[in-house]
Chain A
Amino acid sequence: MFEVFRMDRYRMQRQKYLLTAVLLGLGLIALGYVFLTLLSDQETVNAMQAQGAEITAEDMADATVFAGYTLLEYMYQMLFAGGFWVSLIAVFGGVFCAEDYTSGAVKNIFSTLGCHWPYVVGRALCLLVYNALLMATYLLIPLALSPVLVFGSVGGNLMGWLQMYLSACLAGWAMSMCSMFLSTLVRREGWMALVALCVGTGVPALMLGFACQLLHLPDLTRFTICGCGRMITPDFQPMTYLHIAVVCLAWVVVYGLLTDLSLRKRDQA
């Protein structure tokens, strides 16, 4: 089990999975920050319009709202309100797992392990660490830079930040486990990226929501991973956090078992 974890950790490092996801996420956060900062300064807006830039009233409204944000609120808007990070994690997790199949490395892995559970548990651990590190980087780097950023204050309290971090880690982990399971079915990096993007952007949750509406059932989307991702709030709400934690951990177990089942039933090469 720990051998698989060590192997996966080394591969993530050498193939720069963490670095790429960190740079991509922070790049988008920084891009949003620069854009909104520019729009919140009227002189800059005038200069941009003079250069021919098209700035809509909606952009200006966003900039006005942005001017009143704390760092916590901005990070919440950038990362969690749109569900961007869930999609990113789904795709990265899916491609990472599917590469075992496209490369044929599964042959070396499973012939060495002899059974499947060390693979499932070891990889699950690695994906948890990946999510924890990724989210920590996304939140800690802006926090460390907060003195030089334009936000009035950091905002929130320790529990608020911690809830946001832990909820994101758990939801991200559950989504990665979903990707791991799907990769045992799809087994192609390209297709896996596409499937993971669909799952990560919440297409299945959306369809479930429609189905619930049509069938007059209570809204079940809050029991989906994407639904939990959208429930993350910048304020500390113990019951919400508990709900996210229980649902996401349940999905981790379910996808772990499904992965094991899939590996048992299907040939690996």
Chain B
Amino acid sequence: MQTAVRTLGLCKSYRGKAAVDHLDMQVPQGEIYGFIGANGAGKSTTFKMLAGLSNPTAGQIEIFGQPLEQGTFGRRVGILIEDAGLYGSLSARDNCLLKAKLLGLDDEKSAVDRVLAQVGLEKMGKKAAKRFSMGQRRRLGLALALLGDPDLLLLDEPSNGLDPEGIRDVRLLLQQLQAERGVTILVSSHILGELEKFATCYGIIREGRMVQQITAAELSAQCRDYIALQTPDPHRAAALLEEKLNLHDYTVRPEGELRIYDAADPARINAVLLEGGAAVRSIGIHRQELEDYFLQMMGVDDHV
């Protein structure tokens, strides 16, 4: 499969502190790549470097097989990074017309009408962008990214500020673009449950480094069963299980739940904990959600 975006040893430092640290990323062409990481993990910095807005400290970026520095693919890439980048005193249509002129589109007015209709802003009239709600600004940012029918979309939190209907609309639109035109979409989102619904592959970034790249099918296969244990002192319970049952693959959730991924008998666990004087409020077998997997990979869980 051809690669739309490839980074090799990509680094970015601010005042000596690494924001992106030797990031190796491969985004297959025609896929929806969910880029996942906690706040400050380096997602936006990576997006900025891919869009040519920020100079990498080290490393290489290739877009459609060409080094980024050659800069010949700008019109094939649509971006929405952080805020939408709108001229506040201008209307949605004028903001789009400016981008259309920059792109040198032949039929700029019909192209603008089309993207505004795609994001549901065709009836905004002359209302200045500075008076738009956050969701409307996001939609307009998406419209700007879609202008010129790009082959690659770099979307940083496109659903930020959208209502549930807007989130669904964006998802359907992106799925449609991928299915009909084979557009490659690199998208980050904090709404992991939403991302699960349409991403076809994922990259998980933690502290500027790529932790894992995985397809949706592989991810689904990796989601494991676990034993969920509610106890007043999960850390003590975990220590007991390590000592008595040699269980090491577990996490302690922020809400105090102990999750044991090692194959073990819940009845045996219960007995060991009771013997050790650790009260058990509840115990049961669960299926790991994709969101839990991401959180675990992103290092959000507090592993003892």
Contacts and interface: CB of A to CB of B under 8 A. Distances in A.
Contacts of B87: 11, 15, 99, 103, 105
A54 interface: no
A107 B74 contact: no
A112 B150 CA distance: 10
A267 interface: yes
Contacts of A265: 55
Interface stretch (A2-10, A57-65, A199-207, A219-227): A2-10
B276 interface: no
B53 A7 contact: no
Given A10-B97, A267-B53, A108 B102 contact: yes
A219 B222 CA distance: 77
B3 to A, nearest CB: 19
Contacts of B51: 107, 110-111, 269
Interface in A1-54: 3-4, 6-7, 10-11, 14-15
Nearest to B83: A104
B58 to A, nearest CB: 15
| A interface residue count range (under 10 / 10 to 19 / 20 to 34 / 35 or more) | 20 to 34
Interface string B65-89: 0000011111101010111111111
B94 interface: yes
B127 to A, nearest CB: 14
Contacts of B98: 7, 10-11, 105
Given A111-B74, A112-B102, A267-B48, A104 B86 contact: yes
Contact of A269 (B70, B72, B81, B94): B81
B52 interface: yes
B71 A115 contact: yes
B90 A268 contact: no
B103 interface: yes
Contact of B102 (A3, A267, A268): A3
B101 A7 contact: yes
Contacts of B71: 113-115
Given A6-B101, A114-B71, A104 B82 contact: yes
Interface string A227-269: 0000000000000000000000000000000000000010111
Contacts of B53: 106-107, 110-111, 267-269
Interface of A: 3-4, 6-7, 10-11, 14-15, 99, 103-115, 265, 267-269
29 contacts: A3-B104, A6-B102, A7-B98, A10-B94, A10-B98, A14-B90, A99-B87, A103-B85, A103-B86, A104-B83, A104-B85, A105-B98, A106-B85, A107-B82, A108-B144, A110-B51, A110-B52, A111-B53, A111-B74, A112-B99, A112-B102, A114-B74, A267-B55, A268-B53, A268-B54, A269-B48, A269-B51, A269-B81, A269-B82
